[in-house]
Amino acid sequence: MSCRACACSKLFFSPTRRTRLATAPSQHRRFSTPINDPDGLGRYSVILPEEPFVFGVSHIRNRPVPASITRPPYVDGLKEKKGNGVIELGGREEERVRRAARLARDTRNYAGSLVKAGITTDAMDEAVHEFIVGHGAYPSPLLYEGFPKSICTSVNNIIVHGIPDERPLEDGDIVNIDITVYLDGYHGDTSQTFLVGDVDDKGRALCTLTNAALKAGIKACGPGKHFRDIGRAIHNLVKKPYEGMDFSIAPQFTGHGIGKTFHTLPWVLHTWNEEPEVMVPGHCFTIEPPLVHGSDPRAWIFPDGWTASTENCARSAQAEHMILITDKGAEVLT
């Protein structure tokens, strides 16, 4: 789950965007782009906030979690202890981080198996919630800073933090499913963007490049390397046209350190940057580049306070892995 600590204060609900798309049907929160596709962004349904607008998420029901399952501190209103993102290698802490990461990976794969036209993202949230608690873990997004669901489902033009709802997935959609689990006191975090049925070539190219960007970022990791090398590697890949199309990186959302704490140092930028910090053995963090079709990665937040959409309604995709720096290199945990 992307960190939004340094991003969301810059994003806001946009009356201008609401006016521009005022003819969109409010039922199921969707709008279809014009048939002639004048912006060259492809054919897909645009996700918009439901009307009449409801601000916040207090009206959304939270799924229950068995009392026997250990909850992260924030569920009970306590603050997580911030750290430096370094875990102790070769002992109990590394073992628990690896277990949480494996469960996150298995959960992501299970969630992907549910993706098909006609299923609602809320039904997916219910199934994945049961999968996670059935494995003795807590779904980390649930009640994190008030987030009301157990997973994030970001469809088409939604960059990150989409809230599962009653809109059925449509043939031609793309959907990012962001999974984080809390197992034995440690978080495991991963995501992937899945294709729903017959996705057009532009949507497929976006998803392919997103996974290539993640791989490029991972390749830049290792003990003694700078964190800035991750963003530079992704930048150098994405700045080049891909299959004749331009793509960009949404800079508002970052990767982050993870372990006992959901989001902590180091903050991992996916764009060109000059951050001086160096990776050391034990650093555990996520890389999760959010790519946007076209050259405009600006975003705005829905009235719910979470859902981040591209301003021009272009599609976005994201892929995420947890990385552990070891004495010998970098290992993908998810």
Encoded tokens for 97: 């981080």
- What is the spatial distance between Cα 1 and Cα 194, in angstroms, rounded to a whole number? 16
Query: Of all helices (H) and strands (E), which one includes residue 211?
Result: helix 201-219
Q: Give me the pLDDT at residue 31, please.
A: 41
**Can you tell me the distance from the alpha carbon of 47 to that of 26, in angstroms, rounded to the nearest whole number?**
10
Judge contact between 228 and 147, C-beta under 8 A.
no
**pLDDT score of 146:** 97
pLDDT given at position 119: 98
The pLDDT score that the predictor gives to residue 6 is 41
* Residue that is written with structure tokens 């521009």 in the block: 20
Q: Under DSSP, is residue 107 helix (H, G, I), strand (E, B) or coil?
A: helix
Q: Which residues pair with 181 in a beta bridge?
A: 139, 188
Q: What is the pLDDT along the chain (334 residues), one digit of tens a residue?
A: 776 544 433 344 333 333 233 233 333 444 434 334 657 899 999 999 988 999 999 999 999 999 999 999 999 999 988 889 999 999 999 999 999 999 999 999 999 999 999 999 999 999 999 999 999 999 999 999 999 999 999 999 999 999 999 999 999 999 999 999 999 999 999 999 999 999 999 999 999 999 999 999 999 999 999 999 999 999 999 999 999 999 999 999 999 999 999 999 999 999 999 999 999 999 999 999 999 999 999 999 999 999 999 999 999 999 999 999 999 999 999 9
CB 187 within 8 A of CB 334: no
pLDDT of residue 2: 74
Q: Give the number of other Cβ atoms within 10 Å of residue 40's Cβ.
A: 11
Look at residue 40 in the predicted model and tell me its pLDDT: 86
Predicted pLDDT at 12: 40
Contacts of 160 (CB under 8 A, 6+ apart): 1, 2, 4, 152, 154, 176, 178, 250, 253, 290, 308, 318
* pLDDT for res 37: 65
| Alpha-helical runs (H) found in 265-315 | none
Helix (H, G, I), strand (E, B) or coil at 230: helix
pLDDT at 15: 32
Q: Which two tokens stand for residue 82?
A: 């911030």
Contacts 24+ apart (CB under 8 A), 213-220: 213/237, 213/238, 213/249, 213/270, 213/289, 213/291, 213/319, 214/287, 214/288, 214/289, 214/319, 214/320, 214/321, 217/270, 217/287, 217/289, 218/287, 218/321, 218/323, 218/330, 218/332
